[in-house]
Amino acid sequence: MTWVGRERRSSSIDVEAMKVFTGGERVRLEGLYVRVSGSHGEESWLQAQRKELRATSTGEIVKVFRDRASGLGEDRPGLSRLLRGVADGSVSVVRVTHEDRLARFGVGWLTHVLSVYGASLEVLHPKKLSSRDELLEDFVSLGTTFAGRLYRMRSAENRRRLLAESGQCDAGRAA
Instruction: Name the residue ranges covered by the structural domains of the chain.
Output: 25-123, 131-174
> What is the helix, strand, coil percentage profile of the chain, to 5?
50, 20, 30
SS3 call for 83: helix
pLDDT tens-place string over residues 41-55: 678 899 999 999 999
- Predicted local distance difference test score (pLDDT) of residue 171: 52
pLDDT tens-place string over residues 156-167: 787 788 888 887
Task: Tell me whether strands 25-26 and 29-36 are parallel, antiparallel or unpaired.
Answer: unpaired
Q: Cα–Cα distance between 117 and 89 in angstroms, integer?
A: 8
b/e per residue, 137-156, with b = 16+ CB within 10 A? eeeeeeeebeeeeeeeeeee
Q: Cα–Cα distance between 113 and 115 in angstroms, integer?
A: 5
Select the CATH number that applies to the domain covering 25-123 from these four: 3.40.50.970, 3.40.50.300, 3.40.50.1390, 3.40.190.170. 3.40.50.1390
Q: What is the pTM of this model?
A: 0.63
